[in-house]
Structure 1
Amino acid sequence: MKTAPILPAVVDFSDASTPFSPTYGDYYHTPSGAIGQANHVFLGGNGLPGRWSGRTRFVVLETGFGLGHNFLATWAAWRADPAHCDHLIFISIDKHPLRREDLARAHAQSPEPELAQALLAEWPVLSPNLHTLDFEGGRVRLLLALGDVLAWLPALVAQVDAFYLDGFAPSKNPQMWEPEVFKQLNRLSAPGATAATWCLARRLHEGLAAVGFRVERVPGFARRREMTSAFFEPRFRPSPAPGRIAAAAGAREVLVVGAGLAGAACARALRRRGLSCTVLEAGSAPAGQASGNPGGLFHGTLHGDDGPHARFNRTAALATERELRRLAPSLPWLQWGLLRVERDELTDARLAPMQRLLAATGLPTDYVQALTADEASRHAGLPLAQPAWFFPGGGAVSPAALIAAWLAEAGVAPRTDAAVACLRRIDAGPAPRWQACDAQGRVLAEADAVVLAAGTANDRLSAPWLAGPAWPWLSQRGQLSVAAAGAASALPTRPVAGVGYALALPDGRLCFGASADAGDAEPALRMADQVQNLQRLGQLLPRLRLADHTPSDAADGGLLPLQGRVGWRSLVPDRLPIVGVLPSAVPTQRAEQARFWPRHPGLLICGGLASRGITWATLCGDLLAAQITGEPLPLESDLVDILDPARFGAKLQRRLC
């Protein structure tokens, strides 16, 4: 999916009753009232609230978010209905979203002030992403896709029950009403889907009819005598790709193997959807491997082409920022703001290309900023020699504390010292069940679905079930160093990364490093790695001194009394996690596309989080839970594909073609 910088909406509020868009030369809503129009046209035209009664989940897709009145009206109706669905998911697309201050102005006199304030508090960074905003403890979700409707509709993975066809008039904004839009409605429609709009244009009616909707004219709102309601009654529906089918629709119990960041994030996401979880941990406590470090970083990235890696990392970083702000009151320690030092040059001459890159991506300053060395030094509280990227929503947190918070929220006490040696599939009954067994063949737990989130053990547990080539797992040894409180001449006020990283812990210790050695199984601390970490610290923070030594004289034999920790990261060479349902066979057709590989029902993986576990875990856990239940995915289709467990087999097929 190709992205473009987001240009915020320009809104003329000179007449408060009818906000106007100078860009499109049209009004955002009728003078008779936005909420009244939303209730009559969009909810009433789609048979709501009655149609969601007794449902586990109901999905709405809106083609133009605008001022947000349709979302607020739908949320208010859901709240007021005692028979509402368990989960309301509202997907909305907007090419020109409002700035936060304009959104506040649009809802200054809202009839739903509590909901409007909640929306304002969660309003995202205006970047070209699918932003996931949760309300009501996750029971109401807004998936806000910022960008062009013609780019976003093909990228969504969802089954939609009701469409709100909103946007400026066809004569003002013809792109919103093109045939490609209607074609995508056909692809996205769930059985029994409906659509509604105030629009009566001939091109609309013909477009809907061409893709399987029966179109009716019904009484309109206010001055409009009629409006459009449509009902999805196609003659034929193609089968979805195996990689787009719910992995365990109807599952009630899920077994999670591993109690690190990946496992805890999955347990938290599954519990929010009403599923019960059993978590098995091979070690004596959660957070036993890399998740056991005293502190860990989280932050986004940027690249000039804004390709899949950049978009995935940004979506993940923004999801993590929202999650940590939500959890902040329950976390003992959380630092906000992260500096990533440029490595190429030691002067501010590097700042100009950084600024050009930032201008090309159009990313807002509340996501990333390009700072001079002096500006970066003020943020760090220590002198830096190079320019740096500043990520206001990045920072540092205790991985163990985050894991504990997620497990507590999921209501799960992991079963420790429960090493899983193998999995068994039990096919008796209408759907398969899965068992986890120990080395003696005894059943440790059984569930409708199982999630492999066991770090370096994922390779062994997944291999017997994997179709296609073996995954190219790497086990990477990492050694970090920790200087005692008072040993450092000063501590950074924010985490600093670049060649290694440096992080001040809340007890006054300095954590820095870390080494990265693939295929190294040495569990003991190595002095050579401590020296390497000291040298990198000297490059990162050249004025910082530890006790009576400098990193350079440590290389000559001066040894600081450093502590440290060794752990192993699990990763694959393309530097992306593996998230999704395991492939069960090589397809006979379209094998070069991962989504068409057949799957093992109920067998999933969330692994390969490498050194980005904190940044990736929230989004990966949410994606996996959505894949189990079949709800709309929180990532666009091409990003789901680059994380797919079948991607390695698909790549091999492309090379063979």
Structure 2
Amino acid sequence: MKTAPILPARVDFTDAALPRAPEFDDPYHSPAGAFAQARHVFLSGNGLPGRWRGRARFVVLETGFGLGNNFLATWAAWRADPQRCERLVFLSLEKHPLTREDLARAHATSPEPALARQLLDAWPSLTPNLHALDFEEGRVRLLLAFGDARDWLPELVAQVDAFYLDGFAPAKNPTLWEVGVFKQVGRLAADGATAATWSVARGVRDGLSAAGFTVEKLPGLAGKWSMSAARFTPRHRVPTPPGRAAIAPEAQHVLIIGAGLAGAACARVLTREGLRCTVLEAGPSCAAQASGNPGGLFHGTLHAEDGPHARFNRAAALATQRELRRMSDRLPWLQWGLLRVERQPQALDEMRALLARCGLPDDYVQALEAEAADARAGITLGQPAWFFPGGGAVSPPALVQAWLADERIELRVNAPVAALRRDEASSRWSAVDMRGEVIASADAVVLCGGIGSGSLAAAWSAGPEWPWVSQRGQLSLMAAAASPPRLAMPVAGLGYALSLPDGRLCFGASADPGDLDPALRETDQAQNLQRLGQLLPSSDIPDQLPLAGRVGWRSLVPDRLPIVGALPMAAPDQRAEQVRFWPRQPGLMVMGALASRGLTWATLCAELLAAQLTGAPWPIEASLAEALDPARFGAKQRRSAG
């Protein structure tokens, strides 16, 4: 998916009761009022709230978020309905989102001021991403796709129950009413889906009909004679590819093997989705490997081409930022803000040119001149730096413990899993020990034990062996008594450095693939000190220190992306070069290869895995999800062969 810089909306507030979009020469809503229009056209036109009653999940897709009034009215109706669905997911597309300031102005006199305030507080950076905003303790989720709807719709994976077709008038904004848009609406429609719009233009009704909907005219609102409502009645449906189907939509209990960042994040997200989790850890404690470091960094990236790695890292960093803000009161320490200096010193004008090309906003990343970077760091760095306001540092063990503290999560340590079994009659999975005795059983299993899960995965996965790499890493610690440099925020580049709350400086780290030595080594300490001197050139860094630090192992694969998804069960007979056509093991998933970016990646990977398991809308675009898919290695092999 190609992205483009997000250009915020220009809003004309001359008439505060009827804001207009000058670019389209059209008002944002009916003169009768935004909430009146939302209730009459979109809620009533889709049979709401009645249709969501008794449902575990109900999904709405809106083709133009605008000022957000349709979302607020739907949320308000959900709150007011004692028979509401358990979870409401509201997907909305917007090419020109409002700035935070304009959003506040638009809702200054909102009929739902408390809900509008929550929306404003959660308003994301204006980056070309799918932003997941959670309300009502996760029971209401707003998925905001910023960018062109024609680019986003083919990338969405969801089963939509109700469509709000609400772009500006077809004559003013024809791109939102193209044939291709209606085709994607039909692709995303769940059985029994409905659609509603205030427009009765012939092209709109014909587009819905061609997409498999039966269309009727209903009375309009406030002097408008009619509106369109439709029900999905297709003659034929294209089957959902196995790689995009829900893996275990009826699951209530999940086994998670591994209690590091990956396993804890999965448990956190799955319990938020209403599932019960049992976490099995082979060792005596959680966060035993790289997840046990005293401090770790999280931050995004940027690249001129905004390819899959840059897009995934940005989406993951934004998801981590949202999650850590939710968790902040449960963590002993959390630093916000991170500086990244380039390994090869880069001129400030080059950095700013790259930033202008990417079009990323200041609340995501800034290019700072040397003096401003020094002020942020609290010491002299001596060169420009990238500043990530939403990046920072946190204690990985503390985060893992906070994630696992939910009473719906059962943690069992000293429980190594030797094999998995599946009972075909009950469709349940069991984890067994070396003696063949069952440790625990559940409806689904998620492998989160890093490279240690490789043998479990290999026994059930089709395709080539995954190219797992175990990488030894040694970080170093400078005691407070040695008077280390005190950083106001973490600094990364060739290595990293961060000040811990107890006054120690944590820095490193080495990277040695295939090395199994658990002992601290003087050679790695010397390398870490050398890199620290390059990172903090103005600081007095000693040549030697008492050997102190920690050794851990990261799991990674050569393409520098994690492995997330359901295990492929067999190669498909046709189109095996595309991961979505690979059949999947029912209820068996993996999340691993988080490399050195576990803090940044864990939350988004867990949210994607939970959506794939339950059938909820995916929180990232399909092309990114397929870049992480465990079937990608088999698909790549097929492409290479032919």
User: Are 1:504 and 2:510 matched, yes or no?
Assistant: no
- After TM superposition, the structure 1 = structure 2 runs for residues 435-584 of structure 1, keeping only pairs within 5 Å, are 435-546=430-541, 550=542, 554=543, 559-584=544-569
- After TM superposition, the structure 1 = structure 2 runs for residues 71-470 of structure 1, keeping only pairs within 5 Å, are 71-345=71-345, 350-409=347-406, 411-429=408-426, 432-470=427-465
Other structure's SS at 1:408 match: coil
**CA 37–593 in structure 1, closer or farther in 2 if over 3 Å, else same:** same
Aligned counterpart for 1:631 among listed residues 616, 623, 637: 616
**CA 410–467 in structure 1, closer or farther in 2 if over 3 Å, else same:** farther
Aligned counterparts of 1:618 and 1:352: Cα–Cα separation in 2? 34
- Per the TM alignment, residue 456 of structure 1 is displaced from its structure 2 partner at its CA by 2.3
Other structure's SS at 1:444 match: strand
- Name whichever of 374-383 and 98-107 sits farther off: 374-383
- After TM superposition, the structure 1 = structure 2 runs for residues 578-657 of structure 1, keeping only pairs within 5 Å, are 578-657=563-642
**CA 144–478 in structure 1, closer or farther in 2 if over 3 Å, else same:** same
- Per the TM alignment, residue 410 of structure 1 is displaced from its structure 2 partner at its CA by 5.9
Counterpart residue type for residue 503 of structure 1: L
Aligned counterparts of 1:9 and 1:562: Cα–Cα separation in 2? 56
Aligned counterparts of 1:280 and 1:357: Cα–Cα separation in 2? 45
- Name whichever of 485-494 and 90-99 sits farther off: 485-494
Counterpart residue type for residue 7 of structure 1: L
Other structure's SS at 2:411 match: coil
- After TM superposition, the structure 1 = structure 2 runs for residues 52-67 of structure 1, keeping only pairs within 5 Å, are 52-67=52-67
Other structure's SS at 2:347 match: helix
Aligned counterparts of 1:562 and 1:390: Cα–Cα separation in 2? 31
Counterpart residue type for residue 189 of structure 1: A
Post-superposition CA distance 1:227-256 (Å, at most 9, x none)? 000010000001111000111010111000
- Per the TM alignment, residue 338 of structure 1 is displaced from its structure 2 partner at its CA by 0.3
Assess if the C-alpha contact under 8 Å between 1:149 and 1:176 holds in 2: yes
Aligned counterparts of 1:39 and 1:366: Cα–Cα separation in 2? 34
Aligned counterparts of 2:364 and 2:563: Cα–Cα separation in 1? 26
Post-superposition CA distance 1:554-605 (Å, at most 9, x none)? 3xxxx31131100000000001000000001011100000111011000000
Counterpart residue type for residue 453 of structure 2: N
Post-superposition CA distance 1:610-630 (Å, at most 9, x none)? 100000000011111111100
User: Are 1:27 and 2:31 matched, yes or no?
Assistant: no
CA RMSD of aligned residues (A): 0.9
Post-superposition CA distance 1:19-38 (Å, at most 9, x none)? 01111100001121100110
Structure 2 residues not aligned, in runs of 5+: none
Assess if the C-alpha contact under 8 Å between 1:156 and 1:636 holds in 2: yes
Aligned counterparts of 2:558 and 2:454: Cα–Cα separation in 1? 14
Post-superposition CA distance 1:149-171 (Å, at most 9, x none)? 10011010000000000011011
- Per the TM alignment, residue 386 of structure 1 is displaced from its structure 2 partner at its CA by 2.2
Post-superposition CA distance 1:301-333 (Å, at most 9, x none)? 001011111111100000000111111111110
Aligned counterparts of 1:269 and 1:2: Cα–Cα separation in 2? 29
Assess if the C-alpha contact under 8 Å between 1:243 and 1:596 holds in 2: yes
**CA 489–244 in structure 1, closer or farther in 2 if over 3 Å, else same:** closer
Counterpart residue type for residue 242 of structure 2: P
Post-superposition CA distance 1:429-467 (Å, at most 9, x none)? 3xx111111111111110000000012212122111110
Counterpart residue type for residue 562 of structure 2: P
Aligned counterparts of 1:172 and 1:566: Cα–Cα separation in 2? 61
Assess if the C-alpha contact under 8 Å between 2:262 and 2:448 holds in 1: yes
Q: Tell me what 1:70 maps to.
A: 70
Counterpart residue type for residue 481 of structure 2: G
Counterpart residue type for residue 188 of structure 1: L
Other structure's SS at 1:383 match: coil
Other structure's SS at 2:55 match: coil
Aligned counterparts of 1:474 and 1:545: Cα–Cα separation in 2? 36
Counterpart residue type for residue 78 of structure 2: W
Other structure's SS at 1:216 match: strand
- Name whichever of 217-226 and 80-89 sits farther off: 217-226
Aligned counterparts of 1:239 and 1:486: Cα–Cα separation in 2? 65
Assess if the C-alpha contact under 8 Å between 2:478 and 2:484 holds in 1: no
Other structure's SS at 2:32 match: coil
Aligned counterparts of 2:425 and 2:331: Cα–Cα separation in 1? 44
Aligned counterparts of 2:46 and 2:272: Cα–Cα separation in 1? 27
Assess if the C-alpha contact under 8 Å between 1:502 and 1:511 holds in 2: yes
Aligned counterparts of 2:29 and 2:494: Cα–Cα separation in 1? 53
Assess if the C-alpha contact under 8 Å between 2:490 and 2:497 holds in 1: yes
Other structure's SS at 2:283 match: coil
Structure 1 residues not aligned, in runs of 5+: none
- Per the TM alignment, residue 40 of structure 1 is displaced from its structure 2 partner at its CA by 0.5
Other structure's SS at 2:549 match: strand
Counterpart residue type for residue 432 of structure 2: C
Aligned counterparts of 2:349 and 2:370: Cα–Cα separation in 1? 12
- Per the TM alignment, residue 107 of structure 1 is displaced from its structure 2 partner at its CA by 0.5
Assess if the C-alpha contact under 8 Å between 1:485 and 1:510 holds in 2: yes
Post-superposition CA distance 1:205-241 (Å, at most 9, x none)? 1111111100000011111121000010000001111
Counterpart residue type for residue 62 of structure 1: E
Assess if the C-alpha contact under 8 Å between 1:242 and 1:599 holds in 2: yes
Assess if the C-alpha contact under 8 Å between 1:255 and 1:450 holds in 2: yes
Aligned counterparts of 2:244 and 2:493: Cα–Cα separation in 1? 38
Assess if the C-alpha contact under 8 Å between 2:484 and 2:505 holds in 1: no
Assess if the C-alpha contact under 8 Å between 1:301 and 1:310 holds in 2: yes
**CA 88–302 in structure 1, closer or farther in 2 if over 3 Å, else same:** same
Counterpart residue type for residue 618 of structure 1: T
Aligned counterparts of 2:412 and 2:200: Cα–Cα separation in 1? 60
Assess if the C-alpha contact under 8 Å between 1:287 and 1:403 holds in 2: yes
- Per the TM alignment, residue 267 of structure 1 is displaced from its structure 2 partner at its CA by 0.5
Aligned counterparts of 1:324 and 1:309: Cα–Cα separation in 2? 22
Counterpart residue type for residue 206 of structure 1: D
Aligned counterparts of 1:654 and 1:488: Cα–Cα separation in 2? 56
- Per the TM alignment, residue 489 of structure 1 is displaced from its structure 2 partner at its CA by 4.4
